[in-house]
Amino acid sequence: EVQLVESGGGLVQPGGSLRLSCVASGLTFSRFWMTWVRQAPGKGLEWVANIKGDGSVRYYVDSVKGRFTISRDNAKNSLYLEMNSLRVEDTAVYYCARWDYGPDYWGQGTLVTVSS
Amino acid sequence: DIVMTQTPLSSPVTLGQPASISCRSSQSLVHYDGNTYLSWLQQRPGQPPRLLIYKISNRFSGVPDRFSGSGAGTDFTLKISRVEAEDVGVYYCMQTTQFLTFGGGTKVEIK
């Protein structure tokens, strides 16, 4: 059974930084693209970033380019999202998901709150 | 960017009756490899999204057969043949033909 468990969320001030982690089990992690998707409180879903299985290719939504970095450690079955220069509008639940034809298996999410 | 538009915003349904959700994309979702990467997600209250349907009409692992998807090009539909109480939630279409964009969501609730 595929399981994805996110951690690292919390309260941070505008301009601050946070690093999210996602540990995967039940899959051959290095074979899959992985993705981060976020959901602002009471709002819809927004794709944030993707990373190829070997980490060689990364894509980002325009609103986070230059501020967020997606990475992975296949030896630890782990996916990361380094978030810098955080803004109030980055407040959301952040989900990691495995990508096959698109996001298929999703984690439970971790809440990031950016507020002073 | 491909824009996904869902209708209706809300769908009150009687238990045991069918429900239908439409999704329209701003451009064709046919990929250069010939596939159409249109999927449907369900998000129950307080839960993460769950994949129901991928590539228009393929049910994901463990999804009941009362859920079905259809469509082509830019117009797609999710149907629930007989709504059950556990189907309450928000349903999203999403395209992965060109990166990833989501529809705005349709709330399914019981009358």
State the Cα–Cα distance between residues A76 and A84, nearest whole angstrom: 23
Say if the Cβ atoms of B92 and A101 lie within 8 Å: no
A105 interfaces chain B, CB cutoff of 8 Å: yes
A45: which strand partners? A39
Name the residue among A81, A78, A65 with its Cα closest to residue A18. Answer: A81
A10 interfaces chain B, CB cutoff of 8 Å: no
pLDDT tens readout for residues A93-116 = 999 999 998 999 999 999 999 999
Q: Min CA distance, A17 vs chain B (Å)?
A: 24
Q: Is A82 exposed, middle or buried (0-12, 13-18, 19+ CB in 10 A)?
A: middle
- CA A103 vs. chain centroid, Å, equals 12
Residue of B37, B50, B104 with shortest CB distance to A44? B104
State the Cα–Cα distance between residues A34 and A12, nearest whole angstrom: 25
pLDDT tens readout for residues A25-73 = 999 999 999 999 999 999 999 999 999 999 999 999 999 999 999 999 9
State the Cα–Cα distance between residues A22 and A95, nearest whole angstrom: 9
A32 interfaces chain B, CB cutoff of 8 Å: no
